[in-house]
Structure 1
Amino acid sequence: MSRLAIFIDADNFNDSTALDYAMQEVRSLGEPVALKYAYGNASSLKGIEVVMGKYGIRPVSNLVVGKTTTDVALAIGAMEMVCSNPQIKVVVICSGDADFAPLALRLREMGCKVIAVGMSHNLFTSAEVFYDDVLTIQVVDEPVVPKPPAPAPVLPVRQAAPAAAKPAPVPPPAAVASLVTPVVVQAPLKIPPAAQPVNPVKTPVKETGHSIPAAVPASVAPINVHATVQQVLKVCLALRNGSWQHLSQIVQALRANGILPQNAKSSAWFARLAPHFELTPAIKPNQVRYRMGCAASPKTAPVMEAGVQEALAAYPVLSDGSWQPLNQVIAALRQSGLLGNTKSLAWFEVHSAYFEVEMKPGRTHQVRYLQKKAKPAASPQVAEPASLKPTAASTPIPPPVIQSWHISHRREATVPLPSHWNALRQVLVQVAAQRVCVADILLAAPELLLGQPCSYPAVASRFREKKLVLPNQTILKILQRHPQSFKLDNPQSPKSLIYLGGCGGGYTGSKP
């Protein structure tokens, strides 16, 4: 059974709140955590001692040599633990330092899945190139709730002599309305109805001027769904690509910007936006994502366009359509908060209609903005007779439903082998992949015969279950060998595929 090891650079990743959240995310991976070490000097370890005690993390202090030795000690410890414990297949490095990039590459060559966890302000650029997955954490300060103003003091009443009784001065209507308790005077006083005191706590008044009873919860008050979705996506940029985000961070950002009321329950509030947002798990949810494929109204359509405009504003040189260094553009987008916890390449893939990324070996990775050409002016058309014009309005075609099922065999690292055995295994894997024909694919995933789009990860799970591929092998090359039989929604990183019919090209060699 595969196990997980986590190594923390306390000199770089020394925020206790972020570390506590990182440990919760590591637990959610489902792998049993076998080793937990934190490296750093005494002061850095002191700042996270509460989290270390909570999760049983073993501290490793630096040697007193007048220089920081955290990076070297962590690298030596990680290599020693992985080599002495073959069951460790997942390694988590909590640091945004680029010094651990060679360590990550070497661990991946040994067959381990390496995950980086770093703070948003000190994570080095292009971390996605060296790690299998990158988790970026940003700690947001709690919003300061303003204290209610103190009630105005009640003015004392002075009793005048009976012989020289004079009417007390009447306060102006604005002053009377601001007091919680009306002022008592000796002579009777009639206050106009417009100046009667109003209790703002019991009968709050909205901007429209209509009063709402205070007993109605904030989560039940009517809201504009489409306008609210736009506001949520504008504040929480990480939700735009459809990835899962931590619910507590999203709720904190929405409350700070006044979108989610302070006394509203987050799960009930998001339930009113169910066509656009999804919470998981069903009981006590802790994650939320934006449903990109839902039927959105025309008001929510320009969301992606807004993301492109913000990217051009963060790095204005892109606007001219010239090639720019990818690492510099990613750094500018992260600094502006546009990427959030999203991997940079995944963000550009979502916006592939506006950006083109060039990644060639031996050259600096580049990106450019695809300028949209203005549409030519429409030529004057001859009016058609009324009898030739269509009478029935065209109805929009709903998007096809993607078939999916339980994924029991996920992609994972294989057992590391010596270099000469590893080369032989790669050759055998390529030969075995060439022997997989269309009939083998349909036998592994018979749901494809229905002609409906099927989930790519679900089909890959069936391949691994039937032993058609290794646990760490992708099925993309196998499907690309049969373009006449299968169609992928995205040739580079597909999410679904559909069977077009036909037997396609099978294995032509002689089977033993």
Structure 2
Amino acid sequence: MNGKVMLLIDADNVSADVISQAVEKVLTEQGAIHVRRAYCTAESAQKNLALFKRHSIRPIVNLSAGKNSTDIALAVDALDLVLAERPQLVVIVSSDSDFAPLVIRLREKGCRVEGIGQQGKTGDETQAVYDAYTVLAHGKAKAAAKAAKTARPAKAERAPKAAKAAPAPPPPSPLPDDVQRILHAVPALLDGARLELGIAAERLRAAGLLAKSAPSTKLFKKHPQHFALSPEKQPNKVQFIGDAG
């Protein structure tokens, strides 16, 4: 196997928020997604155009009539891709149980098949057929982004209480605007864990903070008191270290 990862999305079946979470999850776990396709109607493609651009997802527009025509288009494409590319992993984003025959066939072709569905729309019979299955709650991605945006400034606004007999100590200095923008674009850094630079760079480009061909290391090196790169010689990971100054 060549280690390729394919993400095939039934975009008419899950919300845009769940699609975003699915891309983040697979990128975090696998480090890369080589094929990203979303199968949908023309109306859905237009509605989610910004989402598809942000995550570099290729929309496959289905113009055929019929209740299951989009599902059939995804299944046909999945078989063609697996036969041609021989991926190691195929991830199908859908809560639909109709993909069971496809999952079984792809597994027979030698690849692992995982599923991602939306909470409240996914039954047990859907989950059982996959090698692994994750249910995501709609709204979690927006909540995480909102929390990342407000967490740091709110912390800086809390000035310690002073005793009447002594002057109050100075409040902690807020994070620089550039650092706050980076954390808003890459909220996973707030956990303090080491994150792959490739994943961080993708989020920064999507947020317009990093040019297409520019390395993310330069951006992080501008704030050495807030971000640590490792290993030292050829860094491939970044960690948010707060205010080391």
Q: What TM-score, normalized to structure 2? A: 0.56
Q: Hey, what does 1:281 align to over in structure 2?
A: 194
* Secondary structure in structure 1 of the residue aligned to 2:88: strand
- Measure the CA separation in 1 of the matches of 2:101 and 2:169: 60
Q: Is the 8 A contact 2:42 2:63 kept in 1?
A: no
1:135-150 correspondence to structure 2 within 5 Å: 135-138=134-137, 139-140=139-140, 142=143
Match of 1:194 in 2: none
Secondary structure in 2 matching 1:33 = coil
1:271-320 per-residue CA deviation (whole Å, 9 max, x = no partner) reads xxxxxxxx521799x9xxxxxxxxxxxxxxxxxxxxxxxxxxxxxxxxxx
Structure 2 vs 1, CA of residues 123 and 215 (structure 1 numbering), >3 Å: closer, same or farther?
farther
The corresponding residue for 1:300 is none
Aligned residues: 167
User: How many angstroms apart in 2 are the aligned matches of 1:57 and 1:283?
Assistant: 21
Match of 1:76 in 2: 76
Query: What is the aligned partner in structure 2 of residue 25 from structure 1?
Result: 25
Distance in 2 separating the partners of 1:111 and 1:23: 23
Indicate the SS of the match to 2:113: strand
Separation of aligned partners in 2, 1:266 and 1:60: 35
Instruction: State the distance in 1 between where 2:30 and 2:24 align.
Output: 11
Q: How far off is 1:12 after superposition?
A: 0.7
**Does the Cα contact within 8 Å between 2:12 and 2:41 map onto a contact in 1?**
yes
Classify 1:28/1:53 alpha carbon distance in 2 versus 1 (closer, same or farther; 3 Å). Answer: same
Within-5 A mapping of 1:372-391: none
Deviation at 1:46, TM superposition (A): 2.1
The residue type equivalent to 1:3 in the other structure is K
- Counterpart of 1:108 in 2: which secondary structure? helix
**1:194-223 deviations in Å (ceiling 9; x for gaps):** xxxxxxx97759xxxxxx957455xxxxxx
- Aligned residue runs from structure 1 range 306-455, under 5 A: none
Residues 216 and 83 of structure 1, relative CA distance in 2, 3 Å threshold: same
How far off its partner does 1:127 sit? 4.0
Structure 1: any 5+ residue segments left out of the alignment?
146-200, 206-211, 218-246, 250-264, 268-278, 287-512
Partner of 1:13: 14
> Alpha-carbon deviation of 1:37?
1.6
C-alpha distance in structure 1 between counterparts of 2:23 and 2:117, whole Å: 12
CA contact (8 A) 1:7 1:37 kept: yes
Instruction: Show CA shifts across 1:335-361 (max 9, x none).
Output: xxxxxxxxxxxxxxxxxxxxxxxxxxx
1:104 paired with 2:103, answer yes
Structure 2 CA distance for partners of 1:47 and 1:204, relative to 1, 3 Å: farther
| Residue of structure 2 equivalent to 1:39 | 39
Residues 95-135 of structure 1 deviation map (CA, whole Å, 9 limit, x = unaligned): 11111122112211221111111222222224442111222
Residues of 2 paired with 1:116 and 1:107: CA distance? Answer: 13
| Paired residues of 1:5 and 1:33 also in contact (CA < 8 A) | yes
Deviation at 1:68, TM superposition (A): 4.7
Tell me whether 1:51 sits opposite 2:48 in the alignment.
Answer: no
C-alpha distance in 2, partners of 1:38/1:69?
Answer: 14
Is the contact between residue 113 and residue 132 of structure 2 (CA under 8 Å) also seen in structure 1? yes
Assess, with a 3 A threshold, how the Cα gap between structure 1 residues 133 and 66 changes in structure 2: closer, same or farther.
closer
Matched residue SS, 1:78: helix
Larger of the two Rg values belongs to structure: 1
Report how far residue 2 of structure 1 moved.
2.4
Q: Could you tell me how far apart the structure 2 residues matched to 1:120 and 1:134 are? A: 12
Unaligned ranges ≥5, structure 2 = 151-157, 173-185, 200-245
Tell me what 1:61 maps to: 61
1:505 counterpart residue number: none
CA separation of 1:45/1:266 partners in 2, compared to 1, >3 Å: closer, same or farther?
same
Indicate the SS of the match to 2:124.
coil
SS of structure 2 residue aligned to 1:102: helix
Match of residue 239 from structure 2: none
Offset of 1:64 from its aligned partner? 3.7
Q: Is the 8 A contact 1:14 1:47 kept in 2?
A: no
C-alpha distance 204-49 of structure 1, shift in aligned 2 (>3 A): same
Q: Secondary structure at the match of 1:7?
A: strand
Aligned partner of 2:118 in structure 1 is: 119
Partner of 2:177: none
Distance 1:30 1:283 in 2: 11
Question: How far apart, in 1, do the equivalents of 2:80 and 2:195 lie?
Answer: 41
Does the 8 Å CA contact 2:14/2:94 hold for their aligned counterparts?
A: yes
After superposition, what is the alpha-carbon deviation per residue over 1:222-255, rounded to whole angstroms, capped at 9, x for unaligned? xxxxxxxxxxxxxxxxxxxxxxxxx959xxxxxx
Distance in 1 of aligned mates of 2:124 and 2:187: 26
Distance in 2 of aligned mates of 1:33 and 1:203: 46
2:115 and 2:52 mapped to 1: Cα distance?
19
Residue 369 of structure 1 is matched in structure 2 by none
Task: Specify the SS of the correspondent of 1:111.
Answer: coil
Amino acid at match of 1:78: A
- Amino acid of the residue matched to residue 72 of structure 1? I
Q: Is the 8 A contact 2:41 2:61 kept in 1?
A: yes
Tell me if structure 1 keeps the 8 A contact 2:159–2:171.
Answer: no
Distance 2:22 2:66 in 1: 31
**Matched residue type, 1:118:** G
* Partners of 2:159 and 2:109 in 1: CA distance: 67
